[in-house]
Amino acid sequence: MEIVQQVASLLRNAADHQRLVTYQRFHSLFDKNIPVRERYDVLERAVMTLAQPQEVDYGALLALHNGLPGDEFFARFKGCRRSEYDSVMGFGTTGRSVPRRRVLAKSERARVFDHAHGAHQN
C-alpha cells in the first residue's frame, strides 16, 4: 500500500504544480523485479485514491516521449466515460488518432489541474 501512496503523491504533486510525470519517473519508484502489470495495477489504485476516474483521471498526467499518456489512460477513460471518449475519438474508431488523443489528454489534464486547485481551496 505504501507504493500506492507514493504514486498518488507523485501525481498529486505534479497536479499541484501543473506538470507532467514521465513514465521513466513513474517506473523509477518500483524495484526492478516488480512486473510491469503490477506497476500498472498500482497506478490504477493510486488514481482512484485521488479521485473517481468517472469524474477526473490523474493518470492523464503521465507522459510518454510524445507527450501523451499511455494506452492504459485511454482504456480507463473509455471504460469510465464512454460517451465523452466517443465524442472526441469518434464512435466505433480504434482510438489510435494521435491528434484526437492530444485533444482528450489536454482536456483531462486541465480537469486534473482544476481539481487539484479546488482541493486546496477547501
Look up residue 77 and give its DSSP letter: H
Cα separations in angstroms, 5 against 12, 44, 46, 99, 119: 10, 12, 7, 32, 17
Over residues 34-56, mean pLDDT: 97
* pTM for the model: 0.92
Contact call for residues 95 and 75 (beta carbons, < 8 A): no
What is the pLDDT, as a whole number, of residue 67? 97
pLDDT of residue 121: 67
Q: State which amino acid sits at residue 45.
A: R
d(CA 5, CA 69): 20
Residues 115, 11: contact at Cβ < 8 Å?
A: no
Looking at every residue in the chain, the average pLDDT score rounds to 94
- For residue 93, the model assigns a pLDDT of 75
